[in-house]
Amino acid sequence: RPAPSAVSGASGASTADRSAASGGREATGAVLGVATGSSPLGTYAELARRVRAGEIDTAGVSAFALDEYLGLDPTHPESYHSVIRRSVTEPLGLDPRRVHVPDGAAADIRAACLDYERRIREAGGIDLQLLGIGANGHIGFNEPTSSFASRTRLKTLAPRTRIDNARFFGSLDEVPLHCVTQGLGTILEARQLLLVAHGEAKADAVARMVEGPLAAVCPASALQLHPDATVVIDRAASSLLR
């Protein structure tokens, strides 16, 4: 939520408009969808700078993480509970009670996934979903062949994803095999999508997302279906665009 008299909402819509558009929910603050990984770190750092400078007011802002590893204790330093706390909740000064991460340690994962979808709905839906893209075209942990209609659920991580994320762990063996992730259908319901990608390793996935056919083998191609999706990339990540 911008500080009073600072920028208005991205759509220019008034608080009342946004409240109406979100089914009449109390317009207490924006609902952010947040990604982990390296791609959004610059965005979080800039948001944190603006919070410190008093340019934006995050009181009342809620956040929903995209995903979590399965079976990793929330206190593990690489659980997304920990990562989101370090890179989002604390630097942006969010109220921890308003920050949600899927429960990858629940005894009943299916019930936890349904509960996560319910919490998103009750918050009025996600206003802005930040995304990165995997080198294999995943968004969230929706690995290739994920259904475009999928909801929050348990998934098996692709071997490529585990190799790419091994840099956060001591060894490849320590990277969990499974995860809980918002589905592509869940992600597509956010009012705005903002995907950030940099580096040559993302060039192929970016080209397939933007110029390839809509195809479950490139889950990020689902962004082509969204009416308000923005992709921010550097030169290297854009190098295979025609």
Q: Write out the catalytic residue numbers.
A: 67, 136, 138, 143
Which one, 58 or 129, has the nearer CB to ligand F6R?
129
Q: How far is the CB of 86 from ligand F6R (least distance, A)?
A: 13
**Residues 17/24, Cβ–Cβ less than 8 Å:** no
Q: Does 150 bind ligand F6R (CB under 6 A)?
A: no
Which one, 36 or 146, has the nearer CB to ligand F6R?
36
| Contact mark string toward ligand F6R, 59..88, x via CB under 6 A | -------xx---------------------
Q: Does 183 bind ligand F6R (CB under 6 A)?
A: no
Q: Does 239 bind ligand F6R (CB under 6 A)?
A: no
Question: Which region, judged by CB under 6 A, interacts with ligand F6R, from 1-9, 23-31, 51-59, 136-144?
Answer: 136-144
Distance of CA 55 to CAs 48, 51, 99, 117, Å? Answer: 10, 6, 21, 31
Q: Does 36 bind ligand F6R (CB under 6 A)?
A: yes
Q: How far is the CB of 49 from ligand F6R (least distance, A)?
A: 20
Q: Which residues bind ligand F6R (CB under 6 A)?
A: 35-39, 66-67, 132-134, 138-141
